[in-house]
Structure 1
């Protein structure tokens, strides 16, 4: 056993009372700089200082910590900027898509309007062509109907030989059976046209209808006649069929509405453009008895 004995010596130091002072530590990052604020109550002057062993060390504020805090702020700001930029991009894309859809719709409507316009023009052209065709068809039908009437009248006369009426009409006198002067010129022209074709509406010289032949014949002697048979039947003085003279105009039908004319050439005969089947011919009065006559010479 050791000769030295350790005897504990009681400490006469009074236990330290808890410090009345209180401290608060506030730290933060402002504008990338770390700030520290310490607040506390006033410590009495006679207060004993705590030994180092009872003092806690405060964490050291280093440059790395401040830099980290600044980077966090920059990151947050950058993220916010990225969100805002993405929102602007999405809005621009949406507006561009809406504008493209609008232009496409307008182009479709314009194409439809143009197609409708072309269809209306085609329809109008077809209607005009149809109306023109109907007009031509109608005119051709009227012409054929008139030719048919004249042909039937001519054929009816050919089938029936008409005798001279017992009263009111007799054979022309001998005084009207010879042609002299202008009458002879008229008859000579008419005989020169014998055998030429009958064509409705034609005015010579290779073909005639009934009224154009009489008009052309009288033009040879300076007499101007109307073009159509209705007007020619009232152009001169009405004469009876029993007192005809060379050059008198014979008509069939009523005066003013005659449908056929010819020229008396004497000896009970006349020359006329009868119909498409006979052309210009010379016939006796009995071949087709006229209704009346007018004298223009």
Structure 2
């Protein structure tokens, strides 16, 4: 027996082939994993990071709301247009009404001016006639006064008329204390049985027309034209007349120059 037979060997025991293979595979796997991880990290480091935004998805209710909003907007636009058209129509109507009013005022002013012109012309004509009659009456006063003494029926009519001097003038009055011009004449001539018409227009054509330069007491004087006279009185002689003049004076005696008459008629 060898002297070393009982001495334990100091050499490491040999590893089996399977163990070595297994360890080699594990190491290879670890290295492979590290390689892959390293490659992935490099790749990730090279590629940019991209973020994804999610857009909202319209649901059925939201679409209906959008449609209603669009419809409301259209309706508001239509209402605005309608109101604008109404405002324009109202403005046009107001302008037309203003123009019509202005035209009406112009027409009324023109009408008043024409009426005033006619009235002024009539007054001027009447004044001219009175001036002419006054001159005629003045020039014929000697003739009138030469036959100024009333006699017979004329004296009775004149006496009645003078007795009413101071009485009031009332339109339509026929006495005994208030008269209008034709009412006084009718009642005065009734005292001698002469039935005169009631109104001035008819009295101015009753009897015989006489000129103002040949007057006699008892003649009826009239103002205006024969058949359309607006006033009457009685000539009492001496260039004087008596008549119911107006509400301010009542029944008075005045000279012919006070208000020259237009003509005269003789009924006695």
Q: What TM-score, normalized to structure 1?
A: 0.46
The structure whose RCO (Cα within 8 Å, separation 6+) is larger is: 2
Counting helix residues as a fraction of each chain, which structure ranks higher?
2
Counting strand residues as a fraction of each chain, which structure ranks higher?
1
